[in-house]
Amino acid sequence: MKYVLVTGGVVSGLGKGVTASSIGVVLKACGLRVTSIKIDPYLNIDAGTMSPFEHGEVFVLDDGGEVDLDLGNYERFLDVTLTRDNNITTGKIYQSVLDKERRGDYLGETIQVVPHITDAIKTWVESISLIPVDGKEGPADVCVIELGGTVGDIESRPFIEALRQLSFSVGQENFCLIHVSLIPVLGVVGEQKTKPTQHSVRDLRGLGLTPHLLACRSAQPLLENTKEKLSQLCHVAAGNILNIHDVPNIWHIPLLLRNQNAHHSILQQLNLLSIAMPPDLRDWTKMAETYDNLTNSVRIAMVGKYVAFTDSYLSVVKALLHACVACSLKPSIDWIAASDLEDDSATLTPEAHAAAWETLQNAACILVPGGFGDRGVKGMILAAKYARENNVPYLGICLGMQISVIEFARSVLSLERADSTEFDEHTPNPVVVFMPEGSRTHMGRTMRLGCRRTLFQTPDCITSKLYHNSEYVDERHRHRYEVNPDVIGILEEAGLKFVGKDDSGRRMEILELPSHPFYVGVQFHPEFKSRPGKPSALFLGLILAATGQLETYLDQHPNTS
């Protein structure tokens, strides 16, 4: 196995994940098979219990793994299907070592960070890198490892030591280290400063790892004298200093790397030049340039809880992007804090309330994504009501589907106190209830998680047609509460149709309002499987409906399954 390790320095948030993904894309374009591992040095077992405000969205994998959002970047860029073990955390490593200690596997040894923790990290990396993730037999050619955080963080020390040992054990021709660092510009002079990168590389070398390539993040392209200075003071060949400057969209990053011959430097370090082909990035080039040349846009109202930190909805944003590009449009997302739509907001923050409603009413479609807790729920219900009554295309995902059921029960069935037991345990009309698959007392990995099958109940529904008249669809889930199966009868009598169910028939997966141009709710998360060039069917349907193209599209795309 050949390893490419991507580390970061100076500050976090430089785009290591996109850089690592783009490196994978370029290597894949050279005809190599690529897999990915993300190391997160935090003590959490996984990302499942983390606040979206602090850590961004929780990305869900087919096997139910709740992982860092960078694994979503890997899956989208490389078109692979990763496992929960492709995300390593300090918590997972320590838990595995302590479980062995409790079983007596260490025969009374004193358990230490070196060698027990570092050995566990190396073993994990070496074993997971062998698992194929591209649907083919046998291990990949290259494993791209991203080490989260920045060099010098206390919590990342065991991982750096383990990776140092790994580089030594596998040999230099099987290990390539790429260090991502910041080149800031300070003051009115506009000089590109190399000192932060120098210090970062010095820290890395002090820990026993020497970078083979530098990936320098900057607003503008690096000047030649900046490159020369970096080369001289960081002991990296000038040809191996890559500049990842700001670009119009992230699809340009693989092209930026290709244009700087990053693949040649990596392949040379890994002794792969003899088997690799010149990178074929024609599709990527077309995709990036197509997006740059788009002029028309569509306004999408995103009504959610976490809109102050848009990474909380990263996969939803990417799925909208994929769908819009497929329709030759640019997405224009209007972020609306659900609480600003509520009646109380009209009194407390009248300007925000008025602005939120104006934005909602000017949107071509409305999307209510997933979330937990009761904050903003009243605003989401008002948004669903507005979409339903005014024939505005609506897509509700997870909580967004539950919201549409609550709103319909209150407005159409006149059940004024209809609610989810998540928000009101004592509601006399529980239309959304806790389903007995998870735990009420534990938080981590206690939900309905991962890829599950949904069976279409009728071929006549819009959703089935968008999925090319397939009899079923496999999508990823992450939730605790579901539509109460006991109220399905009265809801359907009133016009709300549940067109997708699980194989038991008890779990409602997809709802539609046949009298509406496009009013769809899904219990699963279709955004997690959306890919560039392969948009999610439901997001595509939303954008088509928003632009008046849905009927034409469905007529032109009959059964193609």
Q: Are 520 and 511 in contact (CB under 8 A)?
A: yes
Q: Which of 550, 552, 543, 551 is nearest to 298 (CA)?
A: 543
DSSP-assigned letter for residue 115: I
Q: Is 228 a catalytic residue?
A: no
CA distance 167 to 175: 6
Continuous segment of H or E residues that includes residue 334 = strand 330-337
Tokens representing residue 425 in the block: 């345990």
Selecting among 422, 509, 512, 527, the annotated active-site residue is 527
Selecting among 398, 407, 479, 509, the annotated active-site residue is 398
Q: Which of 101, 69, 71 is nearest to 85 (CA)?
A: 71
Q: Are 283 and 533 in contact (CB under 8 A)?
A: yes
CA distance 416 to 173: 68
Q: Are 197 and 24 in contact (CB under 8 A)?
A: no
Q: Are 511 and 462 in contact (CB under 8 A)?
A: no
Q: Which of 448, 503, 454 is nearest to 481 (CA)?
A: 448
Polymer length in residues for the chain: 561
Q: Are 120 and 112 in contact (CB under 8 A)?
A: no
The string over 102-123, giving b where at least 16 C-beta atoms fall within 10 Å of a residue's C-beta and e elsewhere, is eeeeeeeeeeeeeebbbebbbe
Selecting among 55, 116, 477, 525, the annotated active-site residue is 525
Q: Is 525 a catalytic residue?
A: yes
C-alpha dihedral sign at 310, 316, 319, 324: negative
Q: What is the 3-state secondary structure (H, E, C) of 11-58?
A: CCCCCHHHHHHHHHHHHHHCCCCEEEEEEECCCCCCCCCCCHHHHCCC
Q: Is 137 a catalytic residue?
A: no
Residue numbers annotated as active site:
398, 525, 527
